[in-house]
Amino acid sequence: MRSLLTITLCLLLMAFSATQRSDTTKEKPALTGVLWKLAKIQSMDDSTDLPRAPGLYTLEFHKDGSVAIRADCNRGRGNWASETADQLNITQLITTRAMCIPPSLHDQFISDLNDTRSFTLNEGKLYLATMADGSILEFFSSRAMQVE
């Protein structure tokens, strides 16, 4: 009798574990497979910052939940998660810390990525909103160089 109870409990735990795994492997939003290039940063005070050259600030979201970034002369990696259709968090962002040629948006870009809370995709553009709508980062897409 005791072994039957043990087997039943093991089967229930395995079933519960399989259900939990399938819930956490939800389909990621259509952010992956694209290299996102920064077009501009619009701040709450209506100021606009533009990168000095296209492609200096990029995001590449991977299906495994990692994100690769370029922030001017620096490179980095982190993690991303999207629990709802428009929510986005970028965490554990680690970058190199080289001194980039002024004027650089490096510090603002990294700070805004760390503060990102939501996103919108509209007509091929990605918009990231930071906490309390402090900034909106606008990106345009190009096909990612790396096939996932």
Residue-by-residue pLDDT tens, the chain, 148 positions? 444 434 443 443 444 443 333 333 445 568 999 999 999 999 999 999 999 998 999 999 999 999 999 999 999 999 999 998 899 999 999 999 999 999 999 999 999 999 999 999 999 999 999 998 799 999 999 754 444 3
Q: Which of 81, 77, 35, 29 minimizes the C-alpha distance to 58?
A: 35
Residue type, 113: L
Return the half-sphere exposure (C-beta side, CA atoms, 13 A cut-off) of residue 3. Answer: 0
Residues 6+ apart with CB under 8 A from 94: 76, 77, 78
Distance CA 119, CA 82 (A): 9
DSSP 3-state of 39: strand
